[in-house]
């Protein structure tokens, strides 16, 4: 069977003869297939180029983000180290404060770790607790450390709240401690056993007798509430102030009382005047300090000279 052919005639503009070329159909098909293959390869190469270019751009962005994340991760590690070191210092300071203030006393039911290491053991260091961070540490490991730091911070917060409550209580106790002389004069009879000026018998004197001119000011030695103001047998005119914490003070033989039951007084407040009422041999102030009802030597509370 004869192969199909195509005739191509080339006509020149000049008087040259017409040229004829016969091309087989199979050749044209091969040429067409070749052109299509080349076009496909060109298109594929172009697409591959753009894909590679896009991947390169994305890789560059990823590298930059990776560098940024590494920097942020380093910053997080440094912050964890700093927080861990701070918490360790706070814990050591907390233990010292508790040792000083005896907050580790079991009767207070407050939890506290030992301030000193037991024989044969070593105290944990900052590195072993929080700040020993490997450069290859994973985000999950960092999150675990952050969780432990958060738990430690919560525990320290509770501990410091206990200390705050203790110091607030101590502040209130100091404000309630009768630390001032209630009147200016001279002590004619001290706390303890003495001869009764009326009977000459040896008896217990439960306070201080402070001699002073009639009408001399009497001041509250600390904050408190007046719980009694009136006559009481041999004490004459008497004031009793409750300072809290089981502490009460008593002022006898007063000429006049400037406060009444229920009044709040502050340290240094004017409350009465020295007198000679009741069983008294002369103008003076009888001053007592009682703790839970038991007479105490007032001198051990007075901080003034």
Residue 208 has pLDDT above 80, yes or no: yes
Concatenated DSSP letters for 120-159? T--PPPHIIIII---TT--HHHHHHHHHHHHHHHHHHHHH
pTM here?
Answer: 0.51
**Would strands 208-211 and 294-296 be described as parallel, antiparallel, or unpaired?**
unpaired
Asked whether the beta carbons of 302 and 248 are under 8 A apart, the reply is no
Concatenated DSSP letters for 66-80? HHHHHHHHHHHHHHH
Q: How many whole angstroms separate alpha carbon 159 and alpha carbon 98? A: 10
**Which of 229, 272, 224 minimizes the C-alpha distance to 245?**
224
pLDDT digits (tens, 9 = 90+) for 219-278: 999 999 999 999 998 899 999 999 998 999 999 999 999 999 999 999 999 999 999 999
Sequence-distant (≥ 6) Cβ neighbours of residue 222 within 8 angstroms: 175, 176, 177, 178, 179, 180, 243, 249, 267
Q: Is 24 left (phi over 0), alpha (psi -120 to 50) or beta?
A: beta
pLDDT mean over 205-211: 93
Mean pLDDT (the chain) is 80
Residue 2's pLDDT band (boundaries 50, 70, 90)? low
Max mean pLDDT range (47-56, 75-84, 125-134)? 47-56
């Amino acid at each position: 069977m004869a192969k199909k052919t195509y005739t191509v005639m080339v006509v020149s503009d000049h008087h040259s003869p017409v040229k004829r070329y016969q091309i087989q159909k199979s050749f044209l098909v091969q040429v067409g297939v070749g052109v299509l293959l080349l076009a496909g390869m060109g298109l594929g190469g172009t697409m591959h180029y753009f894909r590679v270019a896009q991947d390169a751009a994305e890789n560059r962005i990823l590298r930059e983000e990776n560098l940024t994340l590494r920097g942020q991760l380093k910053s997080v590690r440094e912050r964890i180290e700093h927080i861990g070191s701070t918490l360790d210092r706070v814990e050591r300071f907390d233990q010292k404060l508790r040792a000083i203030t005896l907050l580790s006393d079991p009767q207070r039911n407050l939890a506290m770790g030992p301030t000193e290491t037991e024989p044969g053991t070593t105290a944990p260091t900052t590195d072993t607790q929080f700040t020993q961070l490997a450069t290859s540490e994973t985000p999950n490991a960092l999150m675990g450390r952050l969780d432990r730091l958060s738990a430690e911070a919560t525990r320290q917060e509770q501990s410091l709240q206990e200390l705050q409550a203790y110091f607030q209580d101590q502040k209130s106790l100091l404000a309630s401690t009768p630390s001032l002389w209630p009147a200016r004069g001279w002590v004619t009879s001290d706390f303890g056993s003495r001869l009764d000026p009326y009977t000459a018998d040896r008896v217990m004197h439960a306070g201080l007798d402070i001699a002073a001119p009639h009408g001399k000011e009497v001041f509250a030695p600390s904050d408190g509430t007046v719980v009694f103001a009136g006559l009481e047998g041999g004490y004459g005119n008497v004031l009793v102030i409750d300072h809290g914490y089981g502490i009460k003070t008593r002022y006898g033989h007063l000429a006049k009382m400037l406060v009444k039951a229920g009044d709040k007084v502050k340290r240094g407040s004017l409350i009465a005047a020295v007198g000679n009422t009741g069983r008294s041999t002369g103008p003076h102030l009888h001053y007592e300090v009682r703790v839970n009802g038991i007479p105490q030597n007032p001198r051990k509370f007075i901080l003034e000279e």
